[in-house]
Every structure is written in structure tokens, then in C-alpha cells.
Structure 1
């Protein structure tokens, strides 16, 4: 069997934001499910650590890159095509969570959040769709958040970027279905990650990154468009959107009243895994 034939038959996934948190846990889960996994992040050392950590589980391919750089993501896709073959699955997970205070607005926080959370997905989505359109099939999952369902305290930039991802995925699904590319949106809530800790989400049960990865992997095997969990948390977030604004704001104020000031939490952000991580 030729090398080219071997490449075309392998089960290959690409996960962005794979250096820590949900992304890192999902890589381990996909390896156990029989995938070889291309991992991308700005943090080379953490990706190499992941590669060594997963040595007994399967093949991890490190391709460094910044999702906010469109040319960088075109380069990553070209390397995947040239050296590793056809992608079966792409999980666009990279993201950052920067808390926003209405009484201390910072332009850079908005610009950086939109560049990574929204622009970063677009930068990966374009070459991924081109690749999968050429092969006639594929599967893409975009990680959003329940913060995209409704406006939450401290989440003005993060929530807006995640709402845009949900809307974008809903719109693109019509055309991608037609060309054989399955599209899903993932909305994990209440996950124990550094990014989640910085935002004032309503009270909910807390899942580990490993639990979240298991739920995502299960959802990826389903035909559902939306993978949202915990389901009760997602349902409450959607239900709140239907409330009159007077009741909505009073309820959110009560639900987030026991959260510490977000400014005190910002110092916990990591260089890549903490601040640059999907929640």
C-alpha cells in the first residue's frame, strides 16, 4: 500500500487551543477513539508536553500556530494536507476569556477577544472547508459557550464573540450540509477551567475538563447540531433570554451576586492555556 493511500485512510483530527483545558482533554479522548490528532496552539512547550504525555495513547502531531493569524492557519492546513492527508474532524476550540467591566472599558480586551474567538475560528474554518469540500466530506465542530445565549455580567466581549459563533454556525449549516460537511456547535457550561473562573457565570454544577471532553466526544458521534451541557444549565440560559428585561436583569444579578469581583480574578490568566482557552 502506498504512503498516499495510507494517509487517505487514516482517521485524522485537528484540534485548536489544545495546550490545556478542554482542548487538551479532548485530544486524549480522541486518541482513545482511534484518531491521530493534529494539535495547534501558540504554546509550543505545552504541545510537546502533550505529545509526550499521550505517547502511549496514539499519534499527536504538533503544528504550532496562532489562530488570530490567517496566514498561519493556511500554513497549518497546507502542512496537514502535504504531510498527513485528509482530515476527518476539525474542532475549533481556541478562545480567550477576558472579563469586561462596564465602568472600566478597555478597547484592547474587545479587539483581542474578537480576533481570537471569532476571527480565529474564521481563519481556521476557511481552509478547513476548502479542504473538506475538495474531498467531498468532513466534520467541523465549533466551540462556543452558553454565554452566547444571553448577556452575562463581565462577559461583554466573550459573550458577544460566542453569540456570533452560534449565529454563524446556524447560517453555514445549510450550505455545508449540501456539500457533505457536517457542522456542529459545542456549548460547554460550568467547566472547571481557568477561563471559566474569570467570568461571572450563574451558579451551576462544575464539570472537569475530562468530563467535558467525554460529553463532547459523545456528542460528536451523534447527529445533533448542538452539543450543550450540562443540559439544565443550557436550558436555563436559553430560558432566561425569553424573560422580560426587568425580570431578566434582576434574576442575573441574584444568580451572580456571590461571585468575587472579576478584576481580582484576572491575575490568574495564563499565557496560553488560561487566557487563550475555550470556555
Structure 2
């Protein structure tokens, strides 16, 4: 792509692997695959595209993480920590690359109806279609916001919960788990 198009203007890192998983169900190969897909693939993509963007002084990176990266959630034993790492990576990329003229965007969707969320056996609040998620991402990019999170009524609730002291956060999570 770099050769055929004389550079890349926008790269969206959106690969993901997810299986509902509890800590006592860990299998090394599954863990490796999820980390390779969700986190390491972004580093490989950065290696392939970032030097060209920096040389041109233009271009944008979009990292699709998840609200599962806001805090430790049940069933996300490997998925959640990889998405938390992407949130951290997007923050540091913004700090380091934005002054050089590059755009960096972080996308934190809630539940989107995909083959990945089809594995969930629980009710997913505010479940969106892929089309609605794509529209939310495009709106966020058009506004130039660093973090694009949706649906807002759900993401605001999780952001608020992540600010609670651990004692209260764990009690709230337990109530949610007991109800499902």
C-alpha cells in the first residue's frame, strides 16, 4: 500500500480475538493467540507504517480497544488486559506523535453484534449493529476527538464505575454478575 499509494493516510487497527474466559480456564496457546492478535499485531502495524507517516509529517492512527479495557470485567481474562494495553498505547502514541502532526485516535466501543460477541451467554446492554458502530467511529473521527466511545450511555456508566474505590467497584461488579 505504501508503494502503490505513495504512503498511507489513515490506518485503523481493529483486529480482535475474544473468547469468554475465566482465570481458571486459561490455556497457553489461546492466551498467546489473543495477545498476538489484539496487541502484538498493532505493534507490527506501527512498525510497517509509522516511519513513513513521520517522514511525511502527516497521517493518522486509529486503535480500536474496548470498554473492557477500562477495568477488570468478568469473562475477559485475556481480552480485557489486551484492550487496556491498547488504551495505554494510544495515550502514549498521542503524547509522542501528535506534536509531530500525526493524528491518534482511540476507539472504545461497547458491545457490537459480531461473531466475537456471539460467544457471550449474558445480556449485552446497548448492543449495537456493526453499521451503527462504524457510523459512531466516523462521527468521532470527523469531530477530531482523541477518544471515540459508544454508546455513550453505556460507556459513561463504565467510566464512572472505573473511578469508584475498589471496594465499591467490586461490590457493583458482583451485583451485576449475580443478576446475570
| Alpha-carbon offset, residue 195 of structure 1 | 1.1
State the distance in 2 between where 1:175 and 1:251 align.
36
Quote the residue 1:92 is aligned against.
13
Quote the residue 1:218 is aligned against.
139
- 1:196-211 aligned within 5 A: 196-199=117-120, 203-211=124-132
1:133-168: CA deviations, max 9, x gaps? 122200110000000000111101100000000011
Quote the residue 1:156 is aligned against.
77
Quote the residue 2:31 is aligned against.
110
CA, structure 1 residues 200+172, in 2 after alignment: closer, same or farther (shift >3 Å)?
farther
TM-score, normalised relative to structure 2: 0.92
1:60-100: CA deviations, max 9, x gaps? xxxxxxxxxxxxxxxxxxxx122232222111101111222
| Alpha-carbon offset, residue 202 of structure 1 | 7.3
CA, structure 1 residues 138+106, in 2 after alignment: closer, same or farther (shift >3 Å)?
same
State the distance in 2 between where 1:138 and 1:170 align.
17
Check whether the contact 1:100–1:109 (CA below 8 A) recurs between aligned residues.
Answer: no
RMSD, aligned CA: 1.8
Are 1:186 and 2:107 an aligned pair? Answer: yes
Aligned residue pair count: 180
SS at match of 1:103: helix
SS at match of 1:91: strand
Quote the residue 2:154 is aligned against.
233
Instruction: Decide which of 133, 158, 171 is 1:250's aligned counterpart.
Output: 171
Between Structure 1 and Structure 2, the one with more helix by share is: 2
- 1:257-276 aligned within 5 A: 257=178, 259=180
| Alpha-carbon offset, residue 246 of structure 1 | 3.0
Are 1:82 and 2:16 an aligned pair? Answer: no
State the distance in 2 between where 1:103 and 1:242 align.
27
Check whether the contact 1:154–1:200 (CA below 8 A) recurs between aligned residues.
Answer: no
SS at match of 1:221: helix
